[in-house]
Structure 1
Amino acid sequence: MLKIQEIRELIKLIDQSSIDEFTYENEGAKLLLKKSAPEAVISHSVQAAAEAPSHAAAQAPQAPSAPQQDQAKHEEVQQSETKQDENLVKITSPMVGTFYAASSPETGNYVEIGSKVKNDSVVCIVEAMKLFNEIEAETKGEIVEILAENGQLVEYGQPLFLVKPE
């Protein structure tokens, strides 16, 4: 099977080419890359459908029951969080799979909030098709938020960590 770096390179090459779909099969493993918009996407419809209800619920609008003062305060907090988020770097999942914060239940997590990371620091594992892929930070800084839970299914491109760059 392809290594994570090889998959990333394939995604970049397909993104820059006129190819709309790419399929790779080897020893029973199959990798399908499709362009849906301006970028390449790894397509797994079964897992995408499983994530859709929770994603839709998270985007559901809130009932307008709070007084106007509370709403204005809430909007100010959201704006300040957005400005803060603009300075943060997202570490995203390079594939669809299961997120693991540690290499085994007996060992500690690779990183915690406040951990310093370098470009080659392993921050988690994403299991895909029985292969455990170590995900590297690819940035230098401090972990300020962990966005995925241990054992959670993650999608391609889904943010896993927020890093304050140094």
Structure 2
Amino acid sequence: MLKIQEIRELIKLVDQSSINEFVYEQEGTKIKMKKTGQEQPVSVVYQPAAEPVQSQVQPVQPAAEPVKTAVSAAMPDVEKQEVNQDNLHKITSPMVGTFYQSPSPDTDAYVKAGSKVNKDSVVCIVEAMKLFNEIEAEVEGEIVEILVKDGQLIEYGQPLYLVKPE
């Protein structure tokens, strides 16, 4: 069976290619990825041999106009200001699952608004099928806003954080 990282890489490759549909079968497990439109994310259907389970991903629609958000007052040395969301990097979920801000309930969150992150900084965990997957920032910058709540169910491609790139 493919590892989560291998599935992520396949999703990225299919998304960036001109392929509209991709099917992979191995040992009774079937992964089917299909593009349904130019601006919509790739959908993934996971079907184990014993019990078929399907996950249909709904695309996230972009806002008609640029949305502006207020920077948190908790950020050090930064006054409240309007930040154009178009200039911010969105850290999105690579899978469907449950969002967790910290590695366990009794520890601090990986990042907060105002935290500095590197490309390989872990920002959260997404639990999918009893596996805890660490999500990395993939960009250097400062966390401006956390868009989801701890324990919230999230979809593939859903924005999790807004980061002001450096």
TM-score where L is the length of structure 2: 0.71
1:35 aligned residue? 35
Structure 1 position 139, deviation (Å): 0.2
SS at match of 2:112: coil
Cα RMSD of the aligned pairs, angstroms, is: 2.9
Structure 1 position 30, deviation (Å): 5.5
1:66 aligned residue? none
1:88 aligned residue? 88
Structure 2: runs of 5 or more not aligned: 46-54, 70-81
Q: 1:79 to 1:85 in 2, by over 3 A?
A: closer
Is 2:43 the counterpart of 1:14?
no
Q: 1:162 to 1:10 in 2, by over 3 A?
A: same
Structure with the higher fraction of residues in strand conformation: 2
- Mean Cα displacement is larger for which, 156-165 or 32-41? 32-41
SS at match of 1:42: strand
CA deviations over 1:66-117 (Å, ceiling 9, x no partner): xxxxxxxxx9xx7655971011000000001110111100111000000000
- Mean Cα displacement is larger for which, 155-164 or 8-17? 8-17
1:69 aligned residue? none
Give the Cα–Cα distance (whole angstroms) in 1 for the partners of residues 14 and 146 of structure 2: 30
SS at match of 1:157: coil
2:152 aligned residue? 152
Q: 1:32 to 1:97 in 2, by over 3 A?
A: farther
Structure 1: runs of 5 or more not aligned: 60-74
1:42 touches 1:95 (CA, 8 Å); kept in 2?
Answer: no
SS at match of 2:13: helix
Give the Cα–Cα distance (whole angstroms) in 2 for the partners of residues 12 and 101 of structure 1: 24
Larger Rg: 1
Which has the higher relative contact order, 1 or 2, with Cα contacts under 8 A spaced 6 or more apart?
1
Identity %: 59
Structure with the higher fraction of residues in helix conformation: 1
1:109 aligned residue? 109
Q: 1:83 to 1:22 in 2, by over 3 A?
A: farther
Q: 1:131 to 1:25 in 2, by over 3 A?
A: farther
Q: 1:79 to 1:112 in 2, by over 3 A?
A: closer
1:4 touches 1:94 (CA, 8 Å); kept in 2?
Answer: no
1:145 touches 1:163 (CA, 8 Å); kept in 2?
Answer: yes
TM-score where L is the length of structure 1: 0.71
Amino acid at match of 1:143: I
Q: Work out the number of aligned pairs and report it.
A: 139
